[in-house]
A and B are shown apart, each in its own frame.
Chain A
Amino acid sequence: MFNQNGLSLDQAPPISVVFRFFFSGALFGVLSGIFILFFQTAIFDPHTIEAVILTHTFTLGVMLSFMFAALFQMLPVIAGVRLSSPIQKANWVQYPFIAGVISLLFAFHLSIPWLFGLASLLLGTSILPIVFIMLKNLLDLQSHSSSSKGMLIALLSLGIVVLLALYLTATLGGVIEGSYYIQIKVAHYSFGLFGWIALLIISISFQVIEMFYVTPSYPNLVSRYLPLTLLCLLIVTSIVGIFNFDIWMISNILLILLLSGYALLTLKRLTQKKRPLSDATVWFWRVGLSALLLSMFSTGVTLFADIAVIKTLSYIFFASFALSIVFAMFYKIVPFLTWFHLNSQGYFTAPMMHEVIHPKTAKKHLYIHLATIVAFIVSIFIPQLILPAGALTIISFGWMTYQIIHAHLLYKKIQETGEKFDMGNVH
């Protein structure tokens, strides 16, 4: 009669599933910083191989890892989907995924066809099956929330991104001729940036903005139709774009309007929050949403005036948007999960959230993050500043890595030495 999965006692996945993806994402972030130190301002020209390598380190290595962490954790909580054997699934995904990302980066750097084949195999077999399993679980749900529908659409986009990527790597690997290479490439990054990254953030925000900060709900019109509208827009444009490339102009204007509207609405929601305190996570959201607005504005400008500097700014702002939201989620999820799992296991010495990561620690990271964004922007005009920008990127992700290790060690310590209630009568 109804699906009870979302209400089961053991609904939350083991904490290691979430931590491991945050950990690998943060390490790829450190790697991004190292690449920036080596590649310097070559990363600002999207046609260079350096820019392609950095983009994939960031979107695949960093963002997709973080988003796996979010999906494994959020699917049971906000969509009522419980994945069976989560540790096993996480292992199947994570190891080939990491190997796949590294192969792809080497393939780009060395232009070796078989490496593209290897990367396609590893990434395809790690990402597509889990996307399929998650999609199937979401489709089986009897009652949907805006978030679960949005996640479904975002996952569908991720599947499309990977399939399009396989066409591109097959072309680069010399397996196919790739007559539609340019069109597929545009569709690939549009689905990746808007259909996957932006849409997943939007879908999750429909729940977490209200949940973490106690704000009014999003209007039904937005939460019900925005994800589907974005997906339809991308699908129609990608198909028509094969024959008539100019359609991307209209599509981009619509995407800019929709995403700017979402950013403004969410910023307004944050001003309506019932909880008075503005901790670092609120500021990460504000920074992220403002960056999304600026990214959309600068993208809008480049539609009418092809100015390289503005284009670069739009990339920097979009990356700032995605990362700010990841950090905002990280500083809520990691302390909460550490407390929640230990508390649920009956440890009355379970550390409070502030003891896992203190708000002041999160605030320090906010300042590092802001300094990183500023350094990148200024380095467009003063190229030497790309070195501090790279160093700040390393510090930012290094900071995050340390917090995960600290939370993990604290968790293990309490499990080994903490005093425990007898939970037999509670269950």
Chain B
Amino acid sequence: MIISQYMKQEHRECDTHFAEAEQAAASGDWAKAEESFLTFSNDTLRHFKKEEEELFPAFEAQTGSSEGPTQVMRYEHEQVKGLIGKLAEALESQDKDAYLSLCESMMILLQQHNMKEEQMLYAMCDRVLPPETKECTLENMKKVEL
């Protein structure tokens, strides 16, 4: 379960930074909100890159399918990226109500996406990928930079 463990850990770290930014925005500390949001968005985008450039291709090569779950995950990544953009706009204009409202949507969208990955896709990766491919994919993911 090395893929699941590594990727789940990244999800949890992103959640923590997201919550920090939300808390800061709620209490009007926009500088802190900006800092935490930047960490959250960078971590999230790097995580997506790891999946799209390393994990998904490895899974697709193994299963011979690029039409199934990975395509859906890529689509959902685009939805999340769209919301990150809107959150950044709200943050820049210091619009608290808009920011907190977008946080709600983002949290549900992201958690729903994470659950599907954690309960299905990562579990499938751990099941179908040969041990050496898993090790190699994991190492490659650790090297990915934005």
Contact = CB atoms under 8 A, between A and B. Distances in A.
Contacts of B101: 352-355
Interface string B92-120: 00000110111011011101100110011
Interface stretch (B39-47, B50-58, B70-78, B129-137): B70-78
B116 A7 contact: yes
A326 B105 CA distance: 19
Contact of A343 (B23, B68, B79): B79
A414 interface: no
B48 to A, nearest CB: 15
Contacts of A300: none
Given A4-B68, A214-B107, A426 B115 contact: no
Interface string A94-131: 00000000000000000000000000000000000000
Contacts of B19: 214, 274-276
A335 interface: yes
A6 B107 contact: no
B111 A344 contact: no
Contacts of A193: none
A1 B107 contact: no
Given A276-B23, A344-B79, A7 B111 contact: no
A1 B104 CA distance: 35
Contact of B120 (A80, A212, A274): A80
B105 A336 contact: yes
A269 B97 CA distance: 26
A335 B79 contact: no
A336 B68 CA distance: 25
A332 B108 contact: yes
A399 interface: no
B111 A6 contact: no
Nearest to A146: B119
Contact of B26 (A6, A7, A80, A277): A277
Nearest to A281: B104
Contacts of A212: 107-108, 111
A348 B28 CA distance: 27
B107 to A, nearest CB: 7
B34 interface: no
A274 B104 contact: no
B16 interface: yes
A304 interface: no
A340 interface: yes
Contacts of B124: 2, 143
B88 interface: no
Given A1-B63, A214-B15, A143 B112 contact: no
A336 B128 contact: no
Given A277-B22, A336-B105, A352-B101, A214 B75 contact: no
Contacts of A340: 105, 108-109
B108 A8 contact: no
B138 interface: no
Contacts of A427: 75
Contacts of B38: none
16 contacts: A2-B69, A2-B120, A6-B116, A7-B116, A9-B75, A77-B115, A211-B115, A212-B107, A214-B15, A275-B19, A276-B19, A276-B26, A277-B23, A353-B101, A353-B104, A354-B97
Interface of B: 15-16, 18-19, 22-23, 26, 63, 68-69, 71-73, 75, 78-79, 82, 97-98, 100-102, 104-105, 107-109, 111-112, 115-116, 119-121, 123-124, 128
- The 10 lowest CB-CB distance pairs between A and B, nearest first, are A354-B101, A7-B69, A211-B111, A276-B23, A274-B19, A352-B101, A353-B104, A7-B72, A4-B68, A145-B119
